[in-house]
Chains A and B, each alone.
Chain A
Amino acid sequence: QKEVEQNSGPLSVPEGAIASLNCTYSDRGSQSFFWYRQYSGKSPELIMSIYSNGDKEDGRFTAQLNKASQYVSLLIRDSQPSDSATYLCVLSGGSYIPTFGRGTSLIVHP
């Protein structure tokens, strides 16, 4: 059974700081990894996808994947109050259905 573990938080960071969100998983067969952002009362929206080991950068966001250690992380540089949301880690692989983590709540305070 696939498991995706995230610290529920809240993670509180000051504006302008780097926010680091982490996710560990149990299934070594996982191939695709995603980070979704969900504002309160809204639907999840994709912000990053990563498929191979290493770092992937997109603007202020960097996703990091380490398959040997079975973790994936999301770094948000220059955090803004508008980044305050719940961040969901998702993994899937082969014919496996996508598995969502419970999410980490991020609060960026001015």
Chain B
Amino acid sequence: DAGVIQSPRHEVTEMGQEVTLRCKPISGHDYLFWYRQTMMRGLELLIYFNNNVPIDDSGMPEDRFSAKMPNASFSTLKIQPSEPRDSAVYFCASSQTGVNQPQHFGDGTRLSIL
């Protein structure tokens, strides 16, 4: 079975550019999570969706970040404009039936903002 698929795996761009990260959850999973991981702050939950609806976006750092889930098999996380402090590894994860259930992580996107 295919796991959570993220693209791109690596992204290097200049400050001020728009960045779009993509995620395809495991089929049949109702919950989708976006995380950011840095050495300083560890793994932070940014936002999660249930059945394509954003439930909690309290972890989104500021208005430059936005996330959408137009259908059950696709989600995007956008940063506009990007800043060097946004450099991190961004993970997408999905779980089958609940926010308290085990999550399956994608391979992540390593983002570098120059």
Q: A: which residues have CB within 8 A of B?
A: 31-32, 34, 42-46, 49, 88, 92-98, 100-103
Specify which chain A residues have a CB less than 8 angstroms from the CB of B102 in the assembled complex.
34, 46, 49
> CB distance B99 to A98 under 8 Å?
yes
> CB distance A93 to B105 under 8 Å?
no
> CB distance B42 to A98 under 8 Å?
no
> CB distance A97 to B105 under 8 Å?
no
> CB distance A43 to B107 under 8 Å?
yes
> CB distance A32 to B42 under 8 Å?
no
**B49 contacts A by Cβ under 8 Å:** no
> CB distance A100 to B43 under 8 Å?
yes
> Once bound together, how far apart are the Cα atoms of A101 and B44, in whole Å?
10
> CB distance A88 to B100 under 8 Å?
no
Specify which chain B residues have a CB less than 8 angstroms from the CB of A93 in the assembled complex.
100
**B104 contacts A by Cβ under 8 Å:** yes
Specify which chain A residues have a CB less than 8 angstroms from the CB of B56 in the assembled complex.
97
> CB distance A100 to B42 under 8 Å?
yes
> CB distance A95 to B99 under 8 Å?
yes
A45 in complex: contacting residue of B33, B105, B108, CB < 8 Å: B105
> Once bound together, how far apart are the Cα atoms of A53 and B56, in whole Å?
29
